[in-house]
């Protein structure tokens, strides 16, 4: 599986907590997961930002988004003449802040950093149990 990620936020290429969670998913699914991060300030190459966000912005234009319900309503109205429709799903999960990766994770992880741009590209390989 190949996943293209933005370079910032909680899935940053330098965060080992993200790599630890990625390793856990790879282990659970039993598949290799390759992650390629866009370099900092290069999210302009992220296709979803160009194909979806301008239309969402237009649908919400001039509307004060004072509640989640209002934002959801206007974002769901996003559509284009070529058939783009946006589905909104509210995640009510509370995410913990300040999480730390396990002390021995760096030594025991099966994540391989790519030869080409190892800072931004790596692969989680499922651990053999």
What residues does each domain of the chain span? 2-124
Region 87-95: mean pLDDT is 88
pLDDT reported for residue 23 = 94
Rg of the chain on CA atoms, in Å: 18
* Cβ pair 105, 6 in contact under 8 A: no
pLDDT reported for residue 83 = 87
pLDDT reported for residue 126 = 94
pLDDT higher for 9 or 76?
76
pLDDT reported for residue 14 = 79
Q: Is the dihedral of CA 42, 48, 51, 56 positive or negative?
A: negative
pLDDT reported for residue 128 = 74
Helix (H) or strand (E) holding 71: helix 68-76
User: In the chain, pLDDT over 90 holds for what percent of residues?
Assistant: 40
DSSP state of 5: E
What's the token pair of residue 92?
């009510």
Residues 6+ apart with CB under 8 A from 125: 26, 32, 110, 111, 112
* Cβ pair 17, 99 in contact under 8 A: yes
* Cα–Cα distance, 95 to 60 (Å, whole number): 27
């Amino acid at each position: 599986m190949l996943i293209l990620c933005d370079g910032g936020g909680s899935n940053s290429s330098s965060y080992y907590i993200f790599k630890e969670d990625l390793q856990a998913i790879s282990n659970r699914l039993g598949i290799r997961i390759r992650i390629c991060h866009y370099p900092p300030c290069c999210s302009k190459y992220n296709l979803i930002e160009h194909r979806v966000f301008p239309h969402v912005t237009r649908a919400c234009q001039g509307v004060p988004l004072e509640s989640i319900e209002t934002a959801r309503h206007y974002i769901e109205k996003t559509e284009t003449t070529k058939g783009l429709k946006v589905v909104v799903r509210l995640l009510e999960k509370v995410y913990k802040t300040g999480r730390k990766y396990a002390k021995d994770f760096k030594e025991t992880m099966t994540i391989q950093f790519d030869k080409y741009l190892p800072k931004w590209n790596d692969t989680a390989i499922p651990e053999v149990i």
